[in-house]
Structure 1
């Protein structure tokens, strides 16, 4: 039961990420220009991220690409092992699944394109946010935040 919930959460996050990227990048062709959805709160803008979140640790070489793929896979396997060896709540399993599914979504991008496809841009209140991200980033952040917030084990 535990493994099934984690798997469903991971698969759902992965599919939402990959389908949204396909639709916005390949069908709506956001690379041809920004698409205002709910301006300025939500605008689709094309981005190619060769680093990690917010463009940190940008690397144009194959070594950086494969290193980031390796780090993502190691973290995903580590979270999976941790959750399968403990007695996590259902909420913790969903959070772990979101993190793993998001990480694998970005891994697929790096393997297929050499970079992560980004398209979400959110601004507000006179602040023009220059960064773009994708649904995988949302799932990774939400999953990691949830794993920290909802882990009931107290440090000894």
Structure 2
């Protein structure tokens, strides 16, 4: 008997459910970690964990790297709208390409991260960040959270998937 080979098609051959489940797990982990950090830390409080990593409670009213964080407040609604729009578009893409595993993993991680940060903006008016990496006096990388991590991993998978697709 010949073994059938799995192919990656753009036809909606898979279910949307597992991808939404992955996004839901990311949202849950993100929100639980943020609730925990806000219960254990005061704003600005820092706990040194290693010589390159701290936990710190920080708020970001802007976007990545605190972009537009010093504005008057309109950015809250702007970034919330972008997050909701991105989530709706990602759900459309997941439905359309549900059979493409790596592509959908990437989208599910980005979706979970985007919704996690939208929840913060809606509830608090800012995103809660707490992971603080730094290296030998070269300064601190901006603090981030589980949602941001999922978005970055999803973006890396998306790039890897595109490079793989181009090489075929």
Shorter chain as denominator, the TM-score bin is: 0.7 to 0.9
Matches within 5 A, 1:72-87: 72-86=83-97
* Secondary structure at 1:72 match in 2: helix
Q: Which residue of 1 aligns with 2:131?
A: 120
Tell me the distance in 1 between the aligned counterparts of 2:122 and 2:93. Answer: 26
> Larger Cα Rg: Structure 1 or Structure 2?
2
Q: Which residue of 2 aligns with 1:25?
A: 38
* Secondary structure at 1:31 match in 2: coil
Any unmatched runs of 5+ in structure 2?
1-13
* Secondary structure at 2:16 match in 1: helix
| Residue-by-residue CA offset, 1:73-103 (whole Å, 9 max, x unaligned) | 1112112212321354222222211100111
Root-mean-square deviation over aligned CA pairs: 2.0
Does the CA-based 8 Å contact 1:14-1:102 persist in structure 2? yes
Q: Which residue of 1 aligns with 2:7?
A: none
1:148 offset after TM fit, Å?
2.4
Q: Which residue of 1 aligns with 2:160?
A: 149
Tell me the distance in 2 between the aligned counterparts of 1:139 and 1:30. Answer: 25
Any unmatched runs of 5+ in structure 1?
none
| Residue-by-residue CA offset, 1:28-86 (whole Å, 9 max, x unaligned) | 11426201122x32101121111111101225434221111000111121122123213
Tell me the distance in 2 between the aligned counterparts of 1:74 and 1:130. Answer: 28
* Secondary structure at 1:129 match in 2: coil
Q: 1:90 to 1:3 in 2, by over 3 A?
A: same
Does the CA-based 8 Å contact 1:92-1:150 persist in structure 2? yes
Q: Which residue of 2 aligns with 1:2?
A: 15
* Secondary structure at 2:62 match in 1: coil
Could you tell which deviates more after superposition, 13-22 or 127-136? 127-136
